[in-house]
Structure 1
């Protein structure tokens, strides 16, 4: 086939891709005095308010700490995961904040806020101010300003210190936050009573116990608050000043010089005091007359009883974060007890002197059905549609925004196991449904707006129940269909979560009374008759179950803080199920049917939430230590309308960094890469210029300049290069010498539809080279395509990749052509990833070279006639036809591969290798990689150790190590 016809067909394909490619989000920028706020289309209102809030936070933090960011910070406003989050990348010259606009839900550890925007901005800005302070060592700071990797390394502190301090400040400066949160206080109290608080060594990353990953925030923040209370704010602040001194100090060294004790020593004392208070509280608690109903292995959430109460659906997660939706019988399983008795009897028969196990507190309920995620992430909020099917929410990639996930409604048929998606691009979270399943009431979150909407699942029509406002959030819509009563939670600025009931027939609304001083409210659940509403609320550091009776407007407290209660549900027989938490995870308990409870007389005012105010919190903190300085606090939260002009995002606002890299391969050579790398904030335009110098044998030298422009799913690459490769100077010498300079360009465009991804590619090269004693020209044009597909249900997956291209070229006046095909079958079994692959390449009137490694100077995409193999030297062998067979397996994702690879040239086996290899890097496929500074993005690490064998080569061990930029 001629190259012209291929190009014509490729252009036709490209036209189809243009019509159906994912929509590319438009980015805009508004500038304030100290921030560049970048946001995606639709987020303008949220971004304008954030711009004003950023300036307020900056001013108040300066007053509080006398520290500030010296330059302008970039702030990105977007919604990638349909979940509340954010992150900061500290830097002295390119600081970054990422603000996720989806607000937190009422039953999370970050639900206690006057405004999600205010809390998020304060937390992330504290990160930047805390970690991005310049060094007082002049030359160290010069290096930080010019080298992003060194800059980031100098900004790092232990995770518990960084997150704990931001958590402390979020609470001190707002009077809300996680330090003053009833839910987290109740959680930590429960863990302390069980002896489950983490040791100092476990504080950074946890220990796989329940909620341990969050302890850097929850325990770290409280430990720092304890230090301020027992010493002073200025004493703790001195640690941060000492860490930026001319003298280099670690955190431990800076801490010891101020407190005259190691942090681990004082942390032990803090844990002892916290545990003492928790145990004292337990001694005063009334007995709880509940029984263990189900013992879950780890995390369990969002339980849902079927209409007749015979089945329970619940979402479970193991220690590795793997999710399943399980359906259990609610009645006891007699076979479980029979099997236990038979097992004990068998033990005693085998060993009459043995002692049998005591009877378990509860036998596991029978599992009827299990669903793992299938080509979507997560399973959340299951609801029964009928006795044989469930609705739930899961996250899938949005077709309107690249790399963004949204919550959509799915239906799972238990009889057939079929899962079908019911909504498209509706971006919904918690929901409730009518008995006929045709009407859904849900919280919809788009562009930072939380709305309560009614959805007709047949027509896909969405009707808002109230006008949307950035100042208002909704959660937990809960319908009693027979009574036509809709309960829901609502949050407004500077207030807290309040519980309302809407009569759908009359449109009358009532506010559910809350106990005076409450701060946490969540998880409403109707009684079977609809005459009462159960819910969970927090007060004075405890979380309890309440019952509100509609007829009498009376509120009853059913528990007395004896546990961390969650998700109360009334069974048809009247008993009340609930979840409780501990260091091992969640378990389900049962309260008796007759529970009159304690009538609550002291109620919060209906028009305000009687939580701890900012000033009350300040007085409370000050009372802990006479030395504590007065607090600077943020003003009441507002939705602002910043008047800055909006401009299209400017790719020419570039930043640059020194780019250093090195690569070593025992089979060929080692090189040092020195250069400068730059990009705009979103890395739409990136560039890299550098010099490669051989370190030992001087086998490879050269220089290069690269540029890449990305827009949506289209990408343009341009390389200018000049290099010398003398294969005879390699560690393992082979024949071959080549000098080449020229220019390379490539255009590619991708399309994705659900699990299928296609990419078309057109590239070419024009060069001059010195080879075998004379100068020749080499030009080629390549056209190709890549395709991939996968099916993933978490524990098992299967997928395939297929790529191929046709290339035509001319070298020294002689025409040549060829084709390459690569096929890979990949998947995982029992969570272990694996793959097998096949590579084919053939050239007519041209040779293929085997061996060598990809680098910044010699990227694999440009080496059209070379088959890369880092455990073989450059020019290890050559031929006209190449075939490669390989496979690998790993213990888990992102871990090293145990691999095997065979190389055949002209239908003869040249070499085989086997060993361990691993590769990782930061790139634009993740948001963190996309927003990373220029000196960090596209950074790649390659490591390998292998055994190479063959009839034509020496059998020996090979190793390679590379840290380089793959732009």
Structure 2
């Protein structure tokens, strides 16, 4: 037995070393620290303490609000990893093996469902911390068994139900209709569900699954938040908490029908027709009103559907657009005047572009940087043959636009939560910083005026939300062009420079608008059932090319004769976000990041194998630290019949590239 044990011990050291992936989780050059509060451990790097303190203060406020609503407080502080090295607006939560959040602090910079907020970090923390409280909660028998087996994956009752119920609850809690924030009340989600109603609501058996058909990844959020709205409307707000209470002591996974039966008086198959009727009443009424007013839509030029992006009219009738159809890799396309479609170049998801008739296409798209970061970089693309030239490496330029001569570039720079305007030469080299940015202000979708004097942008500010602003290049100052509670986006100068085309959700529906820059009068150009976005005009045509939303996703349209209709009303309110929370210094400590507390085993499961050849008794466990530097999995047992140890050990070290993976058995 001793010999076998020695061989096993030697085997643990004589392990193969393999690079297993092309990227590490975090940039190895970053130096991390941890800020401790009563309920959170906030992990940040280098000079990020200001952002970490703000995150901690917001998280403590979110905890005070949500913990009583969910009926749960985690037993240990929750880890929050503050990641400002990803140029996307996102975050995720996990309760296994510990309660952990990762937040990408870059805010939304366009219309995709996340734009309706009065502070990105507050909205993001609310959504993700709802997941933590909801999924971590375990009452009754699951809670009792968890005390013995630890945080075993099967002992999180609320995690073992369809995703639309999980995401729906978090989206419902992020939504505040009185303050006008969150996806549950947004015009974007109203648009998505309005067109679902127009084509027929999906059956519950389809919503229960991971589906590729449109609206694809939005489905669990969209149907989930709508179902909780239905629950409140039909049964009262207290039933939301009752659904959590009733399911949190459930040891049998996916017993969602018995839960709804006990709380709402019917299984989901019985409730779904009532849910459909609720949606028909809520969204069908607006559909009828839109149709009664007379539809004003363009001719549909593409039939790709799925996700969209900008489209831009070219002289001669051609159109450049992004194809993100869910079947092929995303691509920059050119639709010729004769209706044929020309593939130009492959692009990344969430790419942006603008075009100059001589200088070509300016493409901004996310790229892996230093095997870990996700930064937007700029490319020049030939609009005739698709040849691509990379202009920046690690530039972090979310948007860019040519000057009228095609010799300089104005680019929107993003450094986590800080936006700026940079002037670049035609090769992508920075010449000067025009605006260093200010806390929380978001700059997006620039367009350079034909006379070269101004740049129009969609700008989000804490007190005013999304509005159109014009940046005067000579004076280096912003001028606000609109100011109301609607969301405005996608500004585009008319060829004569006298007006701006844009999209807004005045009246609750995204339609195209035209703002006369001299009189400041705005008119409506379309009246669509879904939505209309990204308007543009070429110099040789009055037609407006835009991206329209229908029940299969987004496509390109051409409106030959834009209307000139009155603007729907919009609230004139100014956003009133809650005052910034402040944490007491006496409750905060900061020290160097240590992975070791995260590596303590927090769950185990018995290893038991008995037959005529062996009698193995042992345990299985695993853990990883919040930054995913160290990951291990243990399956260790002792074979009493053969008198030796058996099992396997896996370890991954993911701080530097290449990632190292070790295995012994």
**What residue number does 2:329 align with?**
322
Q: 1:418 to 1:649 in 2, by over 3 A?
A: same
Structure 1 residue 71 corresponds to structure 2 residue 76: yes
- Which structure 2 residue ranges, 5 or more long, are not aligned? 1-25
Which of 462, 487, 498 is the matching residue for 2:467? 498
Query: Shift of residue 153 of structure 1?
Result: 6.7
Q: 1:193 to 1:164 in 2, by over 3 A?
A: same
Q: 1:227 to 1:494 in 2, by over 3 A?
A: farther
Per the normalisation by structure 2, the TM-score is: 0.85
- 1:551-630 equivalences under 5 Å are 551-571=518-538, 572-593=540-561, 595-598=563-566, 605=572, 609=574
CA distance in 2 between counterparts of 1:459 and 1:679 reads 41
Q: 1:661 to 1:439 in 2, by over 3 A?
A: farther
CA distance in 2 between counterparts of 1:25 and 1:366 reads 49
CA distance in 2 between counterparts of 1:567 and 1:424 reads 27
Q: 1:259 to 1:321 in 2, by over 3 A?
A: farther
- 1:290-329 equivalences under 5 Å are 290-299=297-306, 301-305=308-312, 307-320=314-327, 322-329=329-336
**Equivalent pair of 1:135/1:141 in contact (CA under 8 Å):** no
**Equivalent pair of 2:404/2:448 in contact (CA under 8 Å):** no
Q: 1:663 to 1:104 in 2, by over 3 A?
A: farther
Which of 511, 518, 527 is the matching residue for 2:494? 527
Cα deviations across residues 207-257 of structure 1 (Å, max 9, x unaligned)? 433323212112211211111121122223112112223775723222211
Query: Shift of residue 64 of structure 1?
Result: 3.7
**What residue number does 1:282 align with?**
287
The secondary structure found in structure 1 opposite 2:355 is strand
Which of 582, 585, 592 is the matching residue for 1:648? 592
Structure 1 residue 133 corresponds to structure 2 residue 137: yes
Q: Based on CA coordinates, which of the two structures has the bigger radius of gyration? A: 1
Q: 1:709 to 1:582 in 2, by over 3 A?
A: closer
- 1:765-804 equivalences under 5 Å are none
CA distance in 2 between counterparts of 1:709 and 1:290 reads 55
Query: Shift of residue 95 of structure 1?
Result: 0.7
Q: 1:685 to 1:279 in 2, by over 3 A?
A: closer
The secondary structure found in structure 2 opposite 1:264 is helix
**What residue number does 1:105 align with?**
109
Select between 180-189 and 408-417 the one with higher mean Cα deviation: 408-417
CA distance in 2 between counterparts of 1:705 and 1:603 reads 62
CA distance in 2 between counterparts of 1:107 and 1:715 reads 36
**What residue number does 1:543 align with?**
510
Q: 1:272 to 1:418 in 2, by over 3 A?
A: same
Query: Shift of residue 84 of structure 1?
Result: 0.6
Which has the larger helix fraction? 2
Cα deviations across residues 663-697 of structure 1 (Å, max 9, x unaligned)? 99xxx9998873444443334345565534679x9
Report the number of matched residues: 628
Structure 1 residue 405 corresponds to structure 2 residue 386: no
**What residue number does 1:240 align with?**
244
CA distance in 2 between counterparts of 1:430 and 1:670 reads 64
- Which structure 1 residue ranges, 5 or more long, are not aligned? 1-20, 334-364, 614-634, 718-745, 747-855, 859-967
RMSD: 3.4
Structure 1 residue 446 corresponds to structure 2 residue 415: yes
CA distance in 2 between counterparts of 1:134 and 1:324 reads 46
The secondary structure found in structure 2 opposite 1:184 is helix
- 1:332-343 equivalences under 5 Å are 333=338
CA distance in 2 between counterparts of 1:434 and 1:693 reads 72
**What residue number does 1:426 align with?**
395
**What residue number does 1:17 align with?**
none
**What residue number does 1:367 align with?**
341
Report 1 or 2 for greater relative contact order, CA contacts < 8 Å, sequence distance ≥ 6.
Answer: 2
Cα deviations across residues 632-662 of structure 1 (Å, max 9, x unaligned)? xxx7153758743432101232321445598
**What residue number does 1:158 align with?**
162
**What residue number does 1:865 align with?**
none
CA distance in 2 between counterparts of 1:139 and 1:663 reads 22
Structure 1 residue 638 corresponds to structure 2 residue 580: yes
Query: Shift of residue 88 of structure 1?
Result: 0.7
**What residue number does 2:89 align with?**
84
Which has the larger strand fraction? 1
**Equivalent pair of 1:306/1:387 in contact (CA under 8 Å):** no
The secondary structure found in structure 2 opposite 1:308 is coil
Cα deviations across residues 757-785 of structure 1 (Å, max 9, x unaligned)? xxxxxxxxxxxxxxxxxxxxxxxxxxxxx
**What residue number does 2:30 align with?**
25
The secondary structure found in structure 2 opposite 1:598 is coil
**What residue number does 2:626 align with?**
681
**What residue number does 1:383 align with?**
354
Per the normalisation by structure 1, the TM-score is: 0.60
**What residue number does 2:191 align with?**
186
**Equivalent pair of 2:486/2:570 in contact (CA under 8 Å):** no
Which of 95, 99, 104 is the matching residue for 1:95? 99
**What residue number does 1:959 align with?**
none
**Equivalent pair of 1:390/1:412 in contact (CA under 8 Å):** yes
Q: 1:150 to 1:458 in 2, by over 3 A?
A: same
Structure 1 residue 251 corresponds to structure 2 residue 256: yes
**Equivalent pair of 2:312/2:535 in contact (CA under 8 Å):** no
Query: Shift of residue 101 of structure 1?
Result: 0.9
- 1:704-715 equivalences under 5 Å are 711-713=655-657
Q: 1:127 to 1:140 in 2, by over 3 A?
A: same
Q: 1:706 to 1:226 in 2, by over 3 A?
A: closer
CA distance in 2 between counterparts of 1:661 and 1:569 reads 64
The secondary structure found in structure 1 opposite 2:89 is coil
CA distance in 2 between counterparts of 1:642 and 1:444 reads 33
Cα deviations across residues 315-365 of structure 1 (Å, max 9, x unaligned)? 111224721111121x2x2xxxxxxxxxxxxxxxxxxxxxxxxxxxxxxx1
**What residue number does 1:211 align with?**
215
Q: 1:698 to 1:78 in 2, by over 3 A?
A: same
The secondary structure found in structure 1 opposite 2:218 is helix
Query: Shift of residue 109 of structure 1?
Result: 0.3
**What residue number does 1:122 align with?**
126
**Equivalent pair of 1:544/1:557 in contact (CA under 8 Å):** yes
Q: 1:290 to 1:127 in 2, by over 3 A?
A: closer
Structure 1 residue 476 corresponds to structure 2 residue 445: yes
Q: 1:671 to 1:392 in 2, by over 3 A?
A: farther
CA distance in 2 between counterparts of 1:396 and 1:662 reads 43
CA distance in 2 between counterparts of 1:556 and 1:669 reads 81
- 1:458-473 equivalences under 5 Å are 458=427, 460-461=429-430, 463-473=432-442
Query: Shift of residue 456 of structure 1?
Result: 3.1
**Equivalent pair of 2:81/2:627 in contact (CA under 8 Å):** no
